[in-house]
Structure 1
């Protein structure tokens, strides 16, 4: 692999394949057992579902969340020129500092944060099109 982007794409492809092979659920827990409810009587391959569940054990999920939170922390809001209004909110990381020391660039929230919010698009507090990538 030539760079970190290729490495990440390969890992994400592996995770995606596991998720696609698993039962789509919906999944439920009854205090010790995990099971899938299906609208039909189709036979489910629980081995592939178990592989997906095992790949997302708590330590893997916590490491993923820590990494995503670090990305969020790397993209704070700042006052600057967003190309539309003076003293708008821009992303400090995605913007550039001009010769006079002013920030100019991506509107806040930047595309990076909007992409991270995409999996939560169905959440009641998600701002829909305003946060769409």
Structure 2
């Protein structure tokens, strides 16, 4: 699984944790400017983002095909012949007519989903779209 996917799942879980037990309204608990919190909106927003993750599964050739199939398709020296066998690709965005067109980066859809978290300490510069 892609590190970006893991990052996004952790952020989505944190968003749900933040609203746990909260019934909505204005939140100014820390002396900050109040923000309106709508738990139902947050839940729906996170569910939509999780669905986008499901629509853009990321894998590698090794994970997707398995070593046995790669050995059959490319011969006994398949690891030497396939230099990018462990590059992550999106099965929705990086495959065209059965051919992997991978850049070695997560797809732009997931990089856009991560953009609101650009100031998070675990966000990586290479994820910027």
TM-score for the superposition, normalised by structure 1: 0.50
1:29 aligned counterpart, secondary structure: coil
State whether residues 90 and 106 of structure 1, in contact with CA within 8 Å, keep that contact through their aligned partners in structure 2. Answer: yes
Structure 2 residues not aligned, in runs of 5+:
1-26, 62-82
Alpha-carbon distance between aligned partners in 1 of 2:112 and 2:90, rounded to the nearest angstrom: 14
Cα drift, residue 102 of structure 1: 4.1
State whether residues 89 and 102 of structure 2, in contact with CA within 8 Å, keep that contact through their aligned partners in structure 1. Answer: yes
Alpha-carbon distance between aligned partners in 2 of 1:103 and 1:96, rounded to the nearest angstrom: 4
CA RMSD of aligned residues (A): 2.6
Alpha-carbon distance between aligned partners in 1 of 2:94 and 2:112, rounded to the nearest angstrom: 17
More helix by share: 2
1:120 to 117, 121, 125: 117
**1:75-102 deviations in Å (ceiling 9; x for gaps):** 121225xxxx63221111102244xx44
Alpha-carbon distance between aligned partners in 1 of 2:88 and 2:39, rounded to the nearest angstrom: 36
Alpha-carbon spacing, 1:92–1:108, altered in 2? closer, same or farther (3 Å): farther
Cα drift, residue 68 of structure 1: 0.5
Alpha-carbon distance between aligned partners in 2 of 1:125 and 1:60, rounded to the nearest angstrom: 25
| 2:55 matches 1:74 | yes
Higher relative contact order (CA 8 A, sep 6+): 2
Structure 1 residue ranges, 4+ long, deviating more than 3 angstroms after superposition:
105-108
Alpha-carbon distance between aligned partners in 2 of 1:113 and 1:65, rounded to the nearest angstrom: 14
Alpha-carbon spacing, 1:79–1:97, altered in 2? closer, same or farther (3 Å): farther
2:84 to 54, 69, 86: 86
Give the paired residue count: 81
1:111 to 85, 108, 116: 108
